[in-house]
Structure 1
Amino acid sequence: MEQFSVGDHVRWNSEAGYVEGVIIKKHTKDVEYKGHMRRCSKDDPQYEIQSDKTDHVAMHKGKALTKL
């Protein structure tokens, strides 16, 4: 699975269609995010991404992301 880095520009599919943004944090250990426990590891990290259009921050696994 492709690994991403902080600063990478990525795209993901949301309920409202495709969204683009920049990775602002990479999580490699389990973390509580917006009231939910997110399972993360070095082999399967999750990424916080800030939307280009709205500044909203979302967290996704790498398999949901495409590097631009």
Structure 2
Amino acid sequence: MGSMAFSKGDRVVWNTPQGRTEGTVVERRTSDFQLDGQKFTASEEEPAYVVESASSSKRAAHKESTLTRRS
């Protein structure tokens, strides 16, 4: 899966209960962390990405498999 890896500043899209959202990768995390009181698991093998929504500026964490690079 290394070929899918994202970097800070990459524009990505992901699905939410409200529909498709787009934004920017803010940070790549490779160890467990908390964001807005929610715990996330991350490792070198399965990093998590903190993304910022373009519409709301809210931040969320996602696994690599839930993100798609925006062309």
**TM-score of the superposition, structure 2-length normalised?**
0.89
Return the alpha-carbon distance in structure 2 between the equivalents of residues 8 and 45 of structure 1. 15
**5+ residue gaps, structure 1:** none
**5+ residue gaps, structure 2:** none
What SS is found at the alignment partner of 1:54? coil
Partner of 1:62: 64
Which residue type is aligned with residue 22 of structure 2? E
What per-residue deviation string (whole Å, max 9, x for no partner) do you get for residues 16-63 of structure 1? 000000000110011122223211011100011111111011110000
In the comparison of the two structures, how many residue pairs are matched?
A: 68
Partner of 1:16: 18
Return the alpha-carbon distance in structure 2 between the equivalents of residues 44 and 10 of structure 1. 18
> Percent identity at matched positions?
34
Report which of the two has the higher share of helix.
Answer: 2
Return the alpha-carbon distance in structure 2 between the equivalents of residues 28 and 55 of structure 1. 23
Kindly report the root-mean-square deviation, in angstroms, between the aligned alpha carbons of the 2 structures: 0.9
What SS is found at the alignment partner of 1:63? helix
The answer to whether the 8 Å contact 2:26/2:52 transfers is yes
Give every structure 1 segment of 4 or more consecutive aligned residues whose post-TM-superposition deviation is greater than 6 Å. none
**TM-score of the superposition, structure 1-length normalised?**
0.93
The answer on 1:53 being equivalent to 2:33 is no
